[in-house]
Amino acid sequence: MATAANLPQAASQAFGLVSTKWSASTLKAAMTTFKTALRAIFPTDGTPAIRSVSNWLVIGAAIDTDIPVDPTRCSYITLNQACRYVFQICWAAENARTSTPQRITTAQATAVLAAFNAAW
């Protein structure tokens, strides 16, 4: 389980943590956990402002379905996509929280960080 103190730190840990899950053949499970937690934070279409973060869920769901159940068949390309996705959604949430006006609530951003730490 990751222990990032903030979202930029989480983003910076993306590659290391995602590839650790890949090495341990638990990438699929971690991606699914992350995706499920994120969906609970952004359950509906929301506003355009919120979608500046939640649209990443579409990309994440597509990557998750691309990850084979058999971990030995997970390609480097899929791994790289997963790393970038985690990196980018963490930055998106941080930027949406710190922008003026805020595009997502502080509680939502905190929940994204919690989802990251729980999944990775």
Partner 1 sequence: MTYPQPAASEFVKNGGEFWRLNTLLASPGDIYESDESLLALAVGPDSDLSRVSISYYDKSVPASLTNSMIISPDRSFVGQIAARPDQPYPLTGLHGRVLVSPAELYDPAYRPPSGTLAFDVVNFVTPRLDVIGYFQNVPSVIPQRSDGDFYTELYQRPTVAGPTLAWSFVVVPYYGRKYGDFAILNNSAQSVDVQLLGIDYTTNSSALVQAIPTTLLATAAVAVAAQRDYQIRASVDGMFDAIVIGVRGSVNPQTLGPIYTTLRTSDDAL
Q: Which residues bind partner 1 (CB under 8 A)?
A: 8-9, 11-16, 35, 39, 42-46, 48-49, 51-59, 61-62, 64-66, 83-84, 87-96, 99, 103
In the complex with partner 1, the residue whose CB is nearer, 19 or 71, is 19
CA distances from 94 to 8, 50, 103, 107 (A): 7, 12, 10, 12
- Determine phi and psi for 3, rounding to 5 degrees: -135, 50
The answer to whether the CB of 5 falls within 8 A of the CB of 120 is: no
The answer to whether the CB of 15 falls within 8 A of the CB of 105 is: no
In the complex with partner 1, the residue whose CB is nearer, 21 or 35, is 35
Q: Minimal distance in Å, beta carbon 80 to partner 1?
A: 9
The answer to whether the CB of 104 falls within 8 A of the CB of 53 is: yes
Q: Minimal distance in Å, beta carbon 70 to partner 1?
A: 16
Q: Minimal distance in Å, beta carbon 82 to partner 1?
A: 10
In the complex with partner 1, the residue whose CB is nearer, 9 or 110, is 9
